Structure 1
Amino acid sequence: MHNKFSDSKQIVVVSNFSQLLATDFKGDINAVCLQRDLIGDFKEIMSKLELKEDLTEVSMNDLRALKLSDGGSLAREVILSDFQLLADSGASPSLNLIKSYERDEELGFISTDVYSFHVDRSPIGTDTFLCTYYGAASEILANDQAEQKILVPEIRKKLKELHDGPEAEFENFLIEHYFDLHYQAKPGARPVNLGLGHLWRLAVDHPDQQCVPCIHRAPVERDGEYRLLLIC
């Protein structure tokens, strides 16, 4: 299979699940991709699931209960297998049917929703896994192509006005409200689209991490089309 991600210095491409788990994050390397061409009708699954909220978590029992064609059944087996592999590895996978995520546009000058480039943070050593089976796919961005929003002078100035407290407490204020997790792309930046069907492991900001955390964002959904996403 052609390695479509070979141009990126932050990505290691692997050929099986055990390599996906075992590959070390270090230095610039903060994303591992199990690249694959999936067979099966994922659109059929997406169309037969019931959207209860803008983001609906789908149980494996609900997935098993669907009446599907042969193509849909093949797609279901892929999802069930991915879910089981991740659960067996100690992760807590969730299958989401997504119409849209909540937007955070209250402040106007800075956004902290998942459509904004951001890193995930955890107090313990963990990773983010995701796979888009259908719909628009997530993007990642090399760290040297991004700037932390809190370091952009005009944004920082407005955040200080919003904080309106002692200078010594400003950095804590940024962390408490997750402002420090968000980034903007530098001019000329080239985000990498994670594509459909590939299973990704992304580095998280935590105390034992040996690399920079992976900057990523959710895509804006296409009109009238839901996303089917496995994430943990």
Structure 2
Amino acid sequence: MNHKFSDSNQIGVVSTFSELLNTSFLGPMNSVCWYRDLAGDFKEIVSKLQLEQNITEVYPETLLALRLSEKGHIAREVILSDLRLLTDFGASPSLNLIKNYHRDEELDFISTDVYSYHVDRSPVATDTFLCTYYGAASDILPNDQVKQKILIPQIREKLKELHEGSEAEFEAFLSEHYFDLHYQPKPGAKATNLGLGHLWKLAVDHPRQKVLPCVHRAPVENDGEYRLLLIC
């Protein structure tokens, strides 16, 4: 299969949902892409949805109530099919209309919001699935092109100044406040943009995970444009 992701050993590429589920992460490969060139007018769907807050969950019944053109109808069927596939698999997908996420501006030397490169953590064996149908798409980075922010000396020192407990409690403090989930790109790091319409599976940090979790970030939204994102 010819595609722009073929030269990355971080990414496995498949052509069906079944392959997406059944392809295991291995070595540096901690993301799998069901590569698709979707038909349909997703912009029309976004234009007819109502934003109620900065992130608004869109339910199937809301989609079904929209009056759409033929191309809009095709796009809606794609989204409903993806929601069904993931739900039947046992996941809990959420379709979100996004104006913007909350920005963490409390500390000027480290950010813990989703715009910062980070990994997902779960106490149970799971994966992150996501697909951007419209708007700006997320980025991922190979693990050898990032450094954990808490290991950067200047950041670590400032975090120690914030921490009021003993040295032994410091690592727990880093974890409790999610500082340990965030990463800094190394000089020359080359991100992969996840693009539109592809359904991705990303490795999560959990006790049974055999590979490093996938480092990713939410994009800065395009001016005046909402994102339509499926995630679970």
Q: Which band: TM-score by shorter chain?
A: over 0.9
Instruction: Give me the CA root mean square deviation.
Output: 0.6
Q: Deviations over 1:17-40 (max 9, x none)?
A: 000000011221100000010000
- Deviation, structure 1 residue 67: 0.4
Partner of residue 32, structure 1: 32
- Deviation, structure 1 residue 164: 2.5
Partner of residue 157, structure 2: 157
Runs of 5+ consecutive residues of structure 1 not aligned to the other structure:
none
What's the TM-score once normalised by structure 2's chain length? 0.99
| Corresponding residue SS for 2:64 | helix
Runs of 5+ consecutive residues of structure 2 not aligned to the other structure:
none
| Corresponding residue SS for 1:67 | coil
In 2: Cα distance, 1:224 partner to 1:109 partner: 29
Partner of residue 195, structure 1: 195
In 2: Cα distance, 1:108 partner to 1:164 partner: 19
- Deviation, structure 1 residue 3: 1.6
Indicate yes or no: 2:104 matched with 1:99.
no
In 1: Cα distance, 2:149 partner to 2:57 partner: 31
Q: Letter of the 1:13 partner, please give it.
A: V
Q: Deviations over 1:161-214 (max 9, x none)?
A: 000221000000000000000001000000100000000000000000010000
Matches within 5 A, 1:8-19: 8-19=8-19
Indicate yes or no: 2:3 matched with 1:3.
yes
Partner of residue 113, structure 1: 113
In 2: Cα distance, 1:184 partner to 1:57 partner: 30
In 2: Cα distance, 1:23 partner to 1:13 partner: 9
| Corresponding residue SS for 2:96 | strand
In 2: Cα distance, 1:142 partner to 1:60 partner: 35
Matches within 5 A, 1:44-55: 44-55=44-55
Partner of residue 222, structure 1: 222
In 2: Cα distance, 1:68 partner to 1:208 partner: 44
Q: Letter of the 1:177 partner, please give it.
A: H
- Deviation, structure 1 residue 148: 0.3
- Deviation, structure 1 residue 7: 1.1
What's the TM-score once normalised by structure 1's chain length? 0.99
Partner of residue 126, structure 2: 126
Indicate yes or no: 2:11 matched with 1:20.
no
- Deviation, structure 1 residue 2: 2.5
| Identical columns (%) | 73
Matches within 5 A, 1:203-222: 203-222=203-222
Q: Letter of the 2:170 partner, please give it.
A: F
Q: Deviations over 1:21-77 (max 9, x none)?
A: 000112211000000100000000000000000000001100110000001000000
Indicate yes or no: 2:59 matched with 1:87.
no
Partner of residue 65, structure 1: 65
Q: Letter of the 2:14 partner, please give it.
A: V
Moved over 2 A (4+): none
